Amino acid sequence: MADSIPLNPVRKSSKTIGNYRSGRRSRFSLEDELSSLDEMPLMMSEEGFENDESDYQTLPRARGGRRSRGLGWFLLGGWKVLCSSCCDCLAHVCRRKKELKARTVWLGSPEKCEEKYPKNAIKNQKYNIITFVPGVLYQQFKFFLNLYFLVVACSQFVPSLKIGYLYTYWAPLGFVLAVTMVREAVDEVRRYQRDKEMNSQLYSKLTVRGKVQVKSSDIQVGDMIIVEKNQRIPADMIFLRTSEKTGACFIRTDQLDGETDWKLKVAVCCTQRLPAVGDLFSISAYVYAQKPQLDIHSFEGNFTREDTEPQIHESLSIENTLWASTVVASGTVIGVVIYTGKETRSVLNTSYAKNKVGLLDLELNRLTKALFLAQVVLSVVMVALQGFVGPWFRNLFRFVVLFSYIIPISLRVNLDMGKSAYGWMITKDENIPGTVVRTSTIPEELGRLVYLLTDKTGTLTQNEMIFKRLHLGTVSYGTDTMDEIQSHIIQSHPQITSQPSGGGASSAGSATPAWKTQPSGPKVRKSVRSRINEAVKAIALCHNVTPVYESRAAVNGETESAEADQDFSDDNRTYQASSPDEVALVRWTESVGLTLVNRDLTTLQLKTPSGQILSFLILQIFPFTSESKRMGIILRDESTGEITFYMKGADVAMATIVQYNDWLEEECGNMAREGLRTLVVAKKCLSEEQYQDFENRYNQAKLSIHDRALKVAAVVESLEREMELLCLTGVEDQLQADVRPTLELLRNAGIKIWMLTGDKLETATCIAKSSHLVSRNQDIHVFKPVSSRGEAHLELNAFRRKHDCALVISGDSLEVCLRYYEHEFVELACQCPAVVCCRCSPTQKAQIVRLLQQHTANRTCAIGDGGNDVSMIQAADCGIGIEGKEGKQASLAADFSITQFKHIGRLLMVHGRNSYKRSAALGQFVMHRGMIISTMQAVFSSVFFFASVPLYQGFLMVGYATIYTMFPVFSLVLDQDVKPEMALLYPELYKDLTKGRSLSFKTFLIWVLISIYQGGILMYGALLLFESEFVHVVAISFTALVLTELLMVALTVRTWHWLMVLAEFFSLGSYLASLAFLNEYFGVGRVSFGAFLDRSFITTWPFLWKVSAITLVSCLPLYIIKYLKRKFSPPSYSKLSS
């Protein structure tokens, strides 16, 4: 694959290793590994060695470097290093943040806080009243283009440098700045109003005297705040109390983590049990909270009540917290504030998006610098030809100002207006409805993309889970055989109802014999029916799903306990869970006969097909985490008192936990190849003694302050041994509409697609295959898990020998490769047709984007739909968000928001391509317009003994850049080389754009030569043909110039639009009208010379034929060249359009 990469061993550090070895023998194993690495053929960069954990190798080199720093070093650039380090140090001191600390918060007593905590005000504004003007001006003048115009305009205040009227320089600059300032001011005012609205929301605060209304921005750490249903939580709080009888409530977190599922939160037991709300002030209690952190999924703290004997201690975890920016979905809650303002989780996780600048803008900025250089050279030549006589320095500056039209200020205006036009076209395109352009400054980036980095779940797939397969080891059930399971479940339960029973409880009690009817003698193999029954029951019980009865809640105003209504009507039941997989599993158990009808903090109820209720007490829940990759629940059957520990999780996590079996690994592989997400379900029966022992150890671990997570995990793992394997489930995540043709279209357009997902390797691989991200005949190289440098070295060598195969790598292995072999890995990966990175964290996704930007210098695009994709979207050159099931967080953070993945094809192939080609043509044409007039000025000055006198009056110059030529030139934003259907049919056309040939130094040079040729012809032609009527030179040359510009627009256009024709005629009409009525501006030099244009002269034949002749000579050769070029070397698009 990468034979082109020179893989040479580096032996530079071997001497150092030798010296060190004699000093310390204890490190011999590491040395052997390093010396053996040197013999392997993989190019090692010095950075690779220096980044090794054994940093002793870098010490001698560092000392050597330090010794050589003398006066020579200082003069040769050392002063720059010192200055920059001083500036960095100053900036660090100024920006030094207050250290975040753990805290003790007394309930309802903010005055007891030892520290001063930040205000709870939300502030999203970029500027304040003082910094607004300087800030906006800095953002504008950091671009060379604008700074140049400012210097030229300021020079006009110096009398000796004054060339024309002040308004000719200040009006365009003022217009650009005014538009920018107004736009920024409007954005700033909107941000201020949004902040003010949020900060002035009123909340009820509990005090000793009762409830008090308080603004959100005035809330302090220690305040007890009441939050009603559907109200936003104003600060990070610990959940003390709720109006719900269950002692728990639901919150919506879509604004925090992008997930649309509701989360269940639990109130602190001690405060929930108090008889009345007012009792919160009669107790003496405090909360110990860890220091503010980024992680929104974890929290460690303790609740302590002091006024009882013994003191009550309760451990607090993530389920006792209410984070700011979430919304209460049920009941009314009371919480004590622990973090405010900048220390809340939502603010800590807000990454401020960088201002994205398009590649086209950077290229144009480079070209303007080249033009400025040409302008200075031209001015120096003029002064040199004068012979440097008199005050030549002043003349030099006058020439620089005279030729300032080489860099036209209208360039920025036209391009910004063009970008807005492209944004409007994208929004109005009926073929991609619902598309929103949030960043109007980079539509051209859509036409230059080389890498597309996409999320999997919700982006390529629909995030809609469907239960497809149940495997019991000896027998497997698919969608077509689910009715068999249903009949087994129905047969398992009527046996119960046939027995006489006194009441619901005893009938529920006799439910157990159905799966306990095995003789108690020797262990007998269970029947298929009992195994199915156990498996379905385990799936129906082991989850964190809660059934919600919407309509009842709506009638009563407050959610009633579900026990109050025993009808459990199916029509208004919806399931809420933190994962769509869980909902799919519970919906499936409902479809086969076991229905989850009620769940609160302590109980869980199932309904059998015969309508009976099975009740279970929830003793413990171990939620799913990305580290453990499993979740568990301990239940007590209310009728029999049996305690069962159920667990389900990923096959990698469960393989070591369940009893030995010979089918699990193979069947997981088979399901993954079908594109199914697999979960292994297991159980373990516990005796009362076993459970009590576990509970004591577990509660002790939960109260510890140091390493709490590790201690809790260790206690839980003591239970997770020799569990009985019940079944394996397979759930399918359906692909989005038209994903396959869209990916094929993008591949044919030369775009390399990388899939970055948090999902497991098997699922990611099968989705890559089913979506045709990896074509059927392509090999897949699965990068083996590596943890050390040596392993990474060997695995990279194995990968290097593969040719044209897709790469699949996990996040952990990726991290190891990037630590030691960043450059080599990226170089190899970039040659793959497709790359799949699985088990990626959000920060890793953003890191991969930045790697590609640094190593390839190509444009990247990231597309995702969840809160976990935001960092990747913001890091990419162009971010696209999909409004999906995971909320709107990604689409709000993105530059472009679409509703379906398939729309990306048209967005890139049609709009991206057109935006880039149009902007490139527009930018170069505006430059041509400035260069041609500067060439004429140069010719005019050289003829008149190098006098620094302007050729045209200020008004003519402003008119030339605006009303006479602006509309035809700007109408180039409507131009298209091929129809949208053609662009989608032949995506190969997109490939040409990535090379940037539409705007390069070559095309720019061609325009410069055209400008010099046309400017020279127009001016010399006017001087040659009008020797007798010299006073008319201005009118003649200017008329020919305007006509030439209009004809050049016509020459550049590839597809005519009726607005283009209208613009051409409107400009011509405007010019002829001003010729007739504004004749005093067409004199030579200043109007004070008294040289006015004779109106009768412009209607004579000599004027008309001479102007036509000059225009013809300036334009006809270009038309002929264009015709010949299209005939003998046509561009790719013209072959299609013909």
| Strand ordering across the sheet containing 202-207 | 210-215, 202-207, 224-227, 333-339, 236-242, 321-322
Q: Is 625 exposed, middle or buried (0-12, 13-18, 19+ CB in 10 A)?
A: middle
Strand-pairing partners, residue 241, are 334
Rounded Cα distance between 1125 and 1134, Å, is 11
DSSP characters over 438-462:
S-TT-GGGGGSEEEEEE-STTTTEE
76 Cβ contact list (under 8 Å, min separation 6): none
Contact yes or no for 618/603 (Cβ under 8 A) = yes
How many Cβ atoms sit within 10 Å of the Cβ of residue 803?
Answer: 10
How many Cβ atoms sit within 10 Å of the Cβ of residue 677?
Answer: 24
Rounded Cα distance between 677 and 299, Å, is 29
Q: Is 329 helix (H, G, I), strand (E, B) or coil?
A: coil
Rounded Cα distance between 1114 and 443, Å, is 35
* Among 455, 759, 975, 977, the one annotated catalytic: 455
Burial 121-155 (b: 16+ CB within 10 A, else e): bbeebebeeeebeeebeeebbebebbebbbebbeb
Helix ranges (DSSP H) in 637-759: 651-654, 664-673, 688-703, 708-719, 739-748
Rounded Cα distance between 146 and 408, Å, is 10
One-letter amino acid at 257 equals D
Could you write out the three-class secondary structure of 56-119? HHHHHHHHHHHHCCCHHHHHHHHHHHHHHHHHHHHHHHHHCCCCCCCEEEECCCHHHCCCCCCC
Q: Is 455 a catalytic residue?
A: yes
Cis-peptide, bond into residue 310, ω within 30° of zero: yes
Rounded Cα distance between 595 and 612, Å, is 10
Return the sign of the alpha-carbon dihedral for residues 821, 826, 831, 834: positive
Could you write out the three-class secondary structure of 1052-1116? HCCCCCHHHHHHHHHHHHHHHHHHHHCHHHHCCCCHHHCCCCCHHHHHCHHHHHHHHHHHHHHHH
Burial 950-977 (b: 16+ CB within 10 A, else e): bbbbbbbbbbbbbebbbbbbbbbbbbbb
Rounded Cα distance between 531 and 679, Å, is 17
CA 956 to chain centre: 48
Q: Which of 1090, 1060, 1096, 1045 is nearest to 1075 (CA)?
A: 1096
Beta strands in 133-229 (DSSP E): 202-207, 210-215, 224-227
The tokens describing 565, both together, are 């209504």
Rounded Cα distance between 159 and 353, Å, is 45
What does residue 778 show for φ and ψ, rounded to 5 degrees?
A: -95, 145
Q: Which helix (H) or strand (E) holds 679?
A: strand 676-686
How many Cβ atoms sit within 10 Å of the Cβ of residue 441?
Answer: 18
One-letter amino acid at 570 equals D
The catalytic residues are 455
